[in-house]
Amino acid sequence: MKTIKIIIDKDIMEKYEVDYFKLNPRCRVFPKYFKNPIPMSLNTFLNLKREAQGTVKSKYKDFAVWLAKQYGISERNFEDIKVTYDFYFGIIRKRDVDNYVMANKLLMDGFVSADVLIDDNSKHLALQFNPFKLDRKNPRVELTFDIIK
């Protein structure tokens, strides 16, 4: 079984900010939801208006495609994969794990578009969310892809 680790931290978001304006030449402002490496929670997403929700999903899809290229995993078309999420927050606060399942929704659609995996349904994708951790100096999300097939 092959393992690929993807880390979304401040450094990768700063790198994406530079490329964002190349990919979106008409944009003048980097979206504020990309300032934090931890994707928005479900509660935050649901508080947005419908049009804004569509924009967020589209922008995260673009980000996931870019991320797949950065890690050299685009166009691999994995058939069977297990993705484990590890969230490292910068502050201690109670959080519901189910609110951060939104991260998977925002990222996996882009990974499917980048042909990282065939589809993000339960036939091809298994998910695991580990307990939240604290890292005051380096908040981040770590995705571990265990390639089964």
pLDDT digits (tens, 9 = 90+) for 1-28: 799 999 999 999 999 999 999 988 998 9
Query: Are 4 and 144 a contacting pair, CB within 8 Å?
Result: yes
pLDDT of residue 110: 92
Question: How far, in whole angstroms, is CA 88 from its chain's centroid?
Answer: 14
pLDDT digits (tens, 9 = 90+) for 94-125: 888 888 888 888 899 999 999 998 888 888 88
pLDDT of residue 50: 95
Residue 60 has pLDDT above 90, yes or no: yes
Q: Say how far apart CA 27 and CA 48 lie, in whole Å.
A: 20
Domain annotation for the chain: domains and CATH numbers: 2-147 (3.30.1330.70)
Helix H, strand E, coil C: the string for 57-95 is HHHHHHHHHHHHHHCCCCCCCECCEEEEEEEEECCCCCC
